[in-house]
Amino acid sequence: MNAEITPGGINITYSDCPGEREFPFETTKPPISDSKGIISYFERIGNDNPKAEHWLKKLGEVLASYLYRTFNIKVPEEACVLTGFPDGYVLFQNVKKYANGTTRNDRYLYGRYRFRSTNEFSPHMFWLVSDKSQPCSCQYCTGSGGGSRKRHASNNFQQKTPKRTKVQSKPKFDSSEQIIQTVYRRGEIVWVDLTKTDDESLQQIAKENIDNISTRYWPGIIYLREKKNISQNISQNKSPGSDTTSNSDDSYNTNKVFYLVKLLMLKQKVYTDRKTISPWLTRTRDIPDDYYLKEINMSLQLYIKAIQKIKIIVDSYTPMNSYKYKESSRRLAEIKDSKERKRLQEMEKFPHYNAILFGTELICVEDIVRLTTITEMSENINMEPKFLKISSIYEHSKKGIQFTGDGFLRGKLLNEKGKRSINDFTWIPLNKDNEEYTVDLADIAGRFYVAYPNIEEIMQSQSFLKLKDRWAILGNECL
C-alpha cells in the first residue's frame, strides 16, 4: 500500500509523474484579451489555499473509505484528509474574464492527466495507493475519456452506439410530474431579490452590506409552485376615467406561474413570480470563513451562514425517482454487433433515474443541460456538443452517474423580442437520429435556462448526498 496514515492526514507515497514540472500555460506575462474580448489565464493554487484544502478534504474522505473497503484500515475521522497532492501533481485555476464583466473559474488537477474534479481523480488515486496488481480504472487510463464525448461502446469512448429504447414505462412523478418543464422546481435553491418583495423588513435587510457583501439577493428554496389564471386588460386606447370593466373585446385570461420561496435562515416565505428570483449560478458568493470573527449585525450573520450551508449543497448530487430499465428484445435481436448487444444488456443491471438534484438545481430527463468545456486533448473541439438533451440518467457500476442523450451546438437567437422558448434558439444536432451521446457527471455544467442563456458558471457537484441529509443541511422546515 502506497499510503501512510499520519496524525495530520493521509500521505500518498507513490506518484506516476514525480518531480518538478513545467506547464506551458503557466506564464509570468500579463494576460491579454482574445478577439472576443475574453481574458484567460491560469493560477497555481497552493495547498494552503481554501480551494485546495477543499479538494484535499474530499479526496481524503473517499480515500479513507477505499482503504477501509480494500485493506480494512480504519482512518481516524480527524485524519480523513490528504496531507498534499501526490508528488508532481498541481492544482490550477483557469480564470476567464468576459467582456460583459462576468468571470468564470474552473479548477483542474494536473499530473499524469488533467482531472476536472475530485470524482474524476478518485479512481486514479486508488490505483496510485494500490499494489498495481490491477490496471487503473480511471477514464483516462482505460481510454474511455480524454475529452471526447462520443457514444460509449465497450470501453472505447469514441465509438458510436445506437439509441436505446425503453419498453417499461417510467413511474409517475406524482405532483412533481407537473413541473418537469417549468423554470424553477420544488427543492431548487435560487436567489431572491429582496428589493422586489412587498415585505418592508426584507427590503430593510436588502440595504445592509459590509466589505462589498450585499444582502440584496438572498438564497431561498423553492417550496411550492402554482399556476394562476390572470385576467389581462389589453385595450390600448382607454382614456383616464373611462370604463375599464373587462370584457371579451379588451381582455383575455392567461396562466401565470407563482412560487413560494422559503428564505434560508430567515422566518419569511416569499410568494412571487419569476421576475423576483434567479438561478444560483447567475451570481457567486465566496465568503471567507474569517467573517464569522467580525462584529457584524444579525442579518449579515444569518446571510453568511446561509451561504456556507449552500456551499455544501453546491458540491453534492442526489439521484431521484429510480426505475428499472428494460431493453426491447426485438431491438436486441436487430443489433448485429455482439459487443454493442452486450453493452445494452449490461445497462439493464444499472439503476435508472428520472431526475437528479445536481447542486442547487433539479435536472430531469428531457431537460437540455450545458456541458463543461471539453479538454484540450480532444482532436475536434469545435464539433463536440456544448448541450445535451437528456434521454436517460443511470448509475454505472464503475463509472458512477452517467447521462445519455442528443448532443447539440447552439446557434443564433431567432426571437430577439418578447417571451422566449427553447424553440426560439437555433439548435444544431451532432448525432444521427439513431445514435446518442454518453457523458459523465463531471461533464454536466448545469441546466440551460431560456431566460439566462449565457450562464458560463459550472456546478461542480461530485459528492453523493442522501436526500434526508440534504434537507437536514438546509433545514427540514424547507420541506
Q: What is the pLDDT at residue 410?
A: 87
Same domain (yes/no): 421, 446: yes
Same domain (yes/no): 325, 454: yes
Q: Is 347 left (phi over 0), alpha (psi -120 to 50) or beta?
A: alpha
Q: Which of 266, 282, 313 is the last residue of a domain?
A: 313
Q: What is the mean pLDDT of each run of 10 residues along the chain (479 residues)?
A: 90 89 73 80 89 90 87 89 93 84 82 85 90 82 54 33 45 34 84 93 85 85 85 43 38 73 92 92 68 69 87 89 84 77 82 95 94 55 78 88 90 76 86 84 90 84 88 73
Q: What is the pLDDT at residue 162?
A: 54
Same domain (yes/no): 325, 450: yes
CA–CA separation, 60 and 138 (whole Å)? 18
Q: What is the pLDDT at residue 421?
A: 81
Same domain (yes/no): 336, 425: yes
Q: What is the pLDDT at residue 270?
A: 92
Same domain (yes/no): 294, 387: no
The contacts of residue 259 (CB under 8 Å, 6+ apart) are: 184, 222, 223, 224, 225, 271, 272, 273, 274, 277
Q: Do the beta carbons of residue 410 and residue 426 sit within 8 Å?
A: yes
Q: What is the pLDDT at residue 152?
A: 36
Q: What is the pLDDT at residue 151?
A: 40
| Residue at 458 is within a domain | yes
Distances (CA, A) of 468 to 14, 145, 265, 269, 320: 38, 33, 18, 22, 12
CA–CA separation, 122 and 136 (whole Å)? 11
Same domain (yes/no): 30, 51: yes
SS3 content of the chain, % helix, strand, coil (to 5): 25, 30, 45
Q: What is the pLDDT at residue 164?
A: 52
| Residue at 142 is within a domain | no
Same domain (yes/no): 101, 30: yes
Same domain (yes/no): 455, 325: yes
Same domain (yes/no): 165, 200: no
CA–CA separation, 328 and 343 (whole Å)? 14
Same domain (yes/no): 223, 348: no
How long, in residues, is the chain?
Answer: 479
| Residue at 141 is within a domain | no
Give me the residues paired with residue 5 across strands.
10
Q: What is the pLDDT at residue 227?
A: 84
- Secondary structure letter of residue 30 according to DSSP: P
Q: What is the pLDDT at residue 288?
A: 55
| Residue at 145 is within a domain | no
| Residue at 430 is within a domain | yes
Q: What is the pLDDT at residue 460?
A: 76
CA–CA separation, 119 and 390 (whole Å)? 21
C-alpha cell at 233: 386588460
| Residue at 150 is within a domain | no
Q: What is the pLDDT at residue 331?
A: 74
| Residue at 242 is within a domain | no
Q: What is the pLDDT at residue 279?
A: 95
CA–CA separation, 115 and 107 (whole Å)? 9
DSSP 164-202: P-B-SPPPP-GGGGGGTTSSS-TT-EEEEEGGGSS-HHH
CATH number of the domain at 394, please.
Answer: 2.30.30
Q: Which of 288, 313, 338 is the last residue of a domain?
A: 313
Same domain (yes/no): 209, 168: no
Q: Which of 295, 313, 331 is the last residue of a domain?
A: 313
| Residue at 139 is within a domain | no
Show the domain range for 11: 3-129
Q: Do the beta carbons of residue 58 and residue 9 sit within 8 Å?
A: no
CA–CA separation, 223 and 271 (whole Å)? 10
Q: Which of 49, 51, 27 is nearest to 40 (CA)?
A: 27
The structural domain count of the chain equals: 3
Q: Do the beta carbons of residue 270 and residue 225 sit within 8 Å?
A: no
Q: What is the pLDDT at residue 126?
A: 92
Same domain (yes/no): 116, 67: yes
